[in-house]
Amino acid sequence: MCIFCDIIDGKIPSTKVYENDKVLCIRDINPVAPTHVLVLPKKHFDDIIDCSKSEDGAVYLDAVSKAVAEVAKIDGLDKGFRVINNCGEDGGQTVMHLHFHVIGGLKLTEKII
Protein backbone atom coordinates (compact mmCIF):
# COMPACT_ATOMS: atom_id res chain seq x y z
CA MET A 1 0.00 0.00 0.00
CA CYS A 2 1.30 3.46 -0.98
CA ILE A 3 -0.53 6.66 -0.09
CA PHE A 4 0.46 8.40 -3.35
CA CYS A 5 -0.66 5.40 -5.43
CA ASP A 6 -4.01 5.66 -3.60
CA ILE A 7 -4.18 9.38 -4.45
CA ILE A 8 -3.35 8.64 -8.11
CA ASP A 9 -6.06 5.94 -8.14
CA GLY A 10 -8.56 8.45 -6.68
CA LYS A 11 -9.02 6.43 -3.46
CA ILE A 12 -7.75 9.37 -1.38
CA PRO A 13 -8.90 12.90 -2.30
CA SER A 14 -6.39 15.56 -3.34
CA THR A 15 -6.36 19.01 -4.90
CA LYS A 16 -5.28 18.51 -8.49
CA VAL A 17 -3.26 21.21 -10.26
CA TYR A 18 -2.34 19.38 -13.47
CA GLU A 19 -2.53 15.84 -14.83
CA ASN A 20 -1.60 13.87 -17.90
CA ASP A 21 -1.17 10.16 -18.62
CA LYS A 22 2.25 10.00 -16.89
CA VAL A 23 2.01 12.38 -13.91
CA LEU A 24 -0.39 13.84 -11.36
CA CYS A 25 0.37 17.22 -9.73
CA ILE A 26 -1.38 17.98 -6.44
CA ARG A 27 -1.19 20.62 -3.70
CA ASP A 28 0.79 19.45 -0.67
CA ILE A 29 -1.44 18.83 2.34
CA ASN A 30 1.03 20.75 4.53
CA PRO A 31 2.31 23.60 2.34
CA VAL A 32 5.52 25.43 3.24
CA ALA A 33 5.02 28.22 0.68
CA PRO A 34 2.18 29.86 -1.31
CA THR A 35 2.86 27.31 -4.04
CA HIS A 36 3.74 23.84 -2.78
CA VAL A 37 2.85 21.27 -5.41
CA LEU A 38 3.85 17.61 -5.52
CA VAL A 39 4.60 16.12 -8.93
CA LEU A 40 3.86 12.40 -8.77
CA PRO A 41 4.79 9.94 -11.55
CA LYS A 42 1.75 7.71 -12.08
CA LYS A 43 4.02 4.65 -12.06
CA HIS A 44 5.26 3.69 -8.60
CA PHE A 45 9.00 4.16 -8.12
CA ASP A 46 10.25 4.07 -4.54
CA ASP A 47 12.67 6.94 -5.19
CA ILE A 48 14.98 8.43 -7.83
CA ILE A 49 17.41 5.49 -7.52
CA ASP A 50 14.63 3.00 -8.18
CA CYS A 51 13.50 5.15 -11.13
CA SER A 52 17.04 5.25 -12.55
CA LYS A 53 17.07 1.44 -12.68
CA SER A 54 13.78 1.19 -14.55
CA GLU A 55 13.67 0.90 -18.34
CA ASP A 56 10.97 3.54 -18.58
CA GLY A 57 12.35 5.78 -15.84
CA ALA A 58 13.51 8.40 -18.35
CA VAL A 59 10.03 8.60 -19.86
CA TYR A 60 8.60 9.52 -16.48
CA LEU A 61 11.38 11.99 -15.67
CA ASP A 62 10.75 13.70 -18.99
CA ALA A 63 7.06 13.93 -18.09
CA VAL A 64 8.00 15.33 -14.67
CA SER A 65 10.06 18.14 -16.23
CA LYS A 66 7.20 19.11 -18.53
CA ALA A 67 4.71 18.94 -15.65
CA VAL A 68 6.94 21.22 -13.53
CA ALA A 69 6.80 23.76 -16.36
CA GLU A 70 2.99 23.45 -16.51
CA VAL A 71 2.67 23.94 -12.75
CA ALA A 72 4.92 27.01 -12.90
CA LYS A 73 2.73 28.44 -15.67
CA ILE A 74 -0.54 27.65 -13.86
CA ASP A 75 0.63 29.25 -10.61
CA GLY A 76 2.33 32.18 -12.37
CA LEU A 77 5.80 31.44 -11.02
CA ASP A 78 7.45 33.53 -13.74
CA LYS A 79 10.11 34.86 -11.35
CA GLY A 80 11.31 31.38 -10.41
CA PHE A 81 10.76 28.55 -7.97
CA ARG A 82 12.54 25.58 -6.44
CA VAL A 83 12.21 21.87 -7.24
CA ILE A 84 13.14 19.44 -4.48
CA ASN A 85 13.41 15.68 -4.42
CA ASN A 86 14.00 14.09 -1.03
CA CYS A 87 15.62 10.66 -1.40
CA GLY A 88 15.81 8.07 1.35
CA GLU A 89 16.17 8.31 5.08
CA ASP A 90 18.98 10.87 5.20
CA GLY A 91 17.28 12.89 2.45
CA GLY A 92 14.18 13.25 4.62
CA GLN A 93 11.88 11.26 2.34
CA THR A 94 8.69 10.35 4.22
CA VAL A 95 6.52 8.98 1.41
CA MET A 96 8.28 6.21 -0.49
CA HIS A 97 6.79 7.04 -3.88
CA LEU A 98 9.05 9.21 -6.07
CA HIS A 99 7.84 12.80 -6.05
CA PHE A 100 9.12 16.30 -6.66
CA HIS A 101 8.17 19.35 -4.60
CA VAL A 102 7.59 22.56 -6.59
CA ILE A 103 7.95 25.42 -4.13
CA GLY A 104 7.41 29.05 -5.02
CA GLY A 105 5.39 32.20 -4.69
CA LEU A 106 7.94 33.75 -2.35
CA LYS A 107 11.56 34.89 -2.52
CA LEU A 108 13.69 31.90 -1.56
CA THR A 109 17.23 32.36 -0.33
CA GLU A 110 20.18 31.02 -2.26
CA LYS A 111 20.91 28.59 0.56
CA ILE A 112 19.45 25.14 0.06
CA ILE A 113 19.36 24.31 3.78
**Residues in touch with ligand 5GP (CB under 6 A):** 3, 12, 14, 26, 28-30, 38, 86, 92-95
- 82, 100 in Cβ contact below 8 A? no
Residue 99 known to be catalytic: yes
Judged by CB under 5 A, does residue 97 bind Zn ion? yes
Torsion of CA 47, 50, 55, 56, to 10 degrees: -10
DSSP labels, 1-16? --HHHHHHTTSS---E
| Binds 93: which of ligand 5GP, Zn ion, none (CB < 5-8 Å by kind) | ligand 5GP
| Residues taking part in catalysis | 99
**Could you list the residues that contact Zn ion (CB under 5 A)?**
2, 4-5, 44, 97
